[in-house]
Amino acid sequence: MSDVKEITPINLMLFGIIGGLVGIYLSPYFPTAGALGAICAVIWSAEAVRRVAKYGLGTGVPSIGQIAMGMGIIAAMFGLAMVKSMPLAGPILALITASIIGFIIGWFAQHVIKMKIPVMIRCMTEIAAAGALIIIGFSASVAGNYDFVGSLIPKVFDNGVILAVFWVGAVAMLHPFNACLGPDEKQKRLLYLAGSTGAITMALMGIAAVMTLGASGSITLLLGIVLWLIFYKKFWDEVYNDAAAVVGTGLIPKTEA
């Protein structure tokens, strides 16, 4: 369609998985890293939502963000809770579980409900996996690490921050395509918007982190606001670039007699 070179899905997937996992594994030493990792996963998931929602789901783009978070939260809880003896395996187990749940739901959507979307299974797997990383990443930035029973339950579940992680994370994932969809939708613009929704989620998690972790949470808050301004400015510039290409058709020529 367009001659603009797009980033391939596989590269974004690697970016999301590696960035997300590195951020989560660094979160016990530097909680803000969890949120940065989650932003990588948000950018990946926005691309996956873009690919599947392009076909028209019939129910609106928000539904796919919500199912992603529903699958992600189940898998995240499972992955983190199951590995008591070796906690390092938790996030990876969550990622694998989410992929399996996503694959099964995608398979059913494609072959039982018969949605006839060729990329359904692959994208469902990807958004479920990304959903799990988003939830673990943002939760870890609030709790200070990703230990389920010791930290996440008292610091994220009990005080209800998990609801904010769930909802704001879902919006961060679904909003970019929901806002950009249409004939002139471009990947670059969408990814910048995904970065900005991820960053504003990070800023909100920073507010929660100030409550749970004290002063070190303010780094998450301030960095989130700075990243949001940067990404939003980039998105703004892209909108202006693309808008000129659409609107600049010139005046309607006068008919000559």
Partner 1 sequence: MVFLDPTTIIDILLIGLSGTLICLAVHFIPVGGAPAAMAQATGIGTGTVELAAGSGLVGLITSSYMYAYEPSASVALVMAAGAMGSAIMLASTMLAGGFIYAYGVAVPFASAQVKKDPITGERQDIYVSKGTQGQGIPTICFVSGVVGAALGGAGGGLIYFVLMGYYSPLITTHAAAVAGVFTMGVFYVNSVIPSYGVGGTIEGVHDPKFKRVVPKDVFTSAVVSMLCGIVAILIAGGMTA
Write the DSSP string, the chain.
Answer: --SSPPPPHHHHHHHHHHHHHHHHHHTTT-THHHHHHHHHHHHHHHHHHHHHHTT--SS-THHHHHHHHHHHHHHHHHHHHH-SS-GGGHHHHHHHHHHHHHHHHHHHHHHTS----TTHHHHHHHHHHHHHHHHHHHHHHHHSS--IIIIIIIIIITTTHHHHHHHHHHHHHHHHHHHH-STT--HHHHHHHHHHHHHHHHHHHHHHHHHHHGGGHHHHHHHHHHHHHHHHHHHHHHHHHHHHHHH---PPPPPP-
Give the residue among 7, 32, 14, 17 at the shortest CA–CA distance from 205: 32
Residues 193-212: x/- map of binding to partner 1 (CB under 8 A)? --------------------
Minimal distance in Å, beta carbon 36 to partner 1?
Answer: 24
Per rule CB under 8 A, count of chain residues that contact partner 1: 41
Q: Is 103 an interacting residue with respect to partner 1 (CB under 8 A)?
A: no
Q: Which is nearer to partner 1, 114 or 254 (CB)?
A: 114
Report the distance separating Cα 106 and Cα 116, nearest Å.
Answer: 11
Q: Is 89 an interacting residue with respect to partner 1 (CB under 8 A)?
A: no
Residues 138-167: x/- map of binding to partner 1 (CB under 8 A)? ----------xx---xx--xx-x-xx--x-
Task: Report the residue from 71, 205, 209, 227 that binds partner 1 according to the rule CB under 8 A.
Answer: 71
Q: Is 119 an interacting residue with respect to partner 1 (CB under 8 A)?
A: no
Stretch that binds partner 1, among 45-53, 56-64, 202-210, 212-220 (CB under 8 A): 56-64
Q: Is 97 an interacting residue with respect to partner 1 (CB under 8 A)?
A: yes
Stretch that binds partner 1, among 34-42, 51-59, 193-201, 205-213 (CB under 8 A): 51-59
Q: Is 105 an interacting residue with respect to partner 1 (CB under 8 A)?
A: yes
Minimal distance in Å, beta carbon 108 to partner 1?
Answer: 4
Task: Report the residue from 40, 42, 53, 67 that binds partner 1 according to the rule CB under 8 A.
Answer: 67
210, 225 Cβ separation under 8 angstroms: no
Task: Report the residue from 2, 3, 4, 58 that binds partner 1 according to the rule CB under 8 A.
Answer: 58
Site for partner 1, rule CB under 8 A: 57-60, 62-64, 66-67, 69-71, 73-75, 77-78, 81-84, 97, 101, 104-105, 108-109, 112-115, 148-149, 153-154, 157-158, 160, 162-163, 166
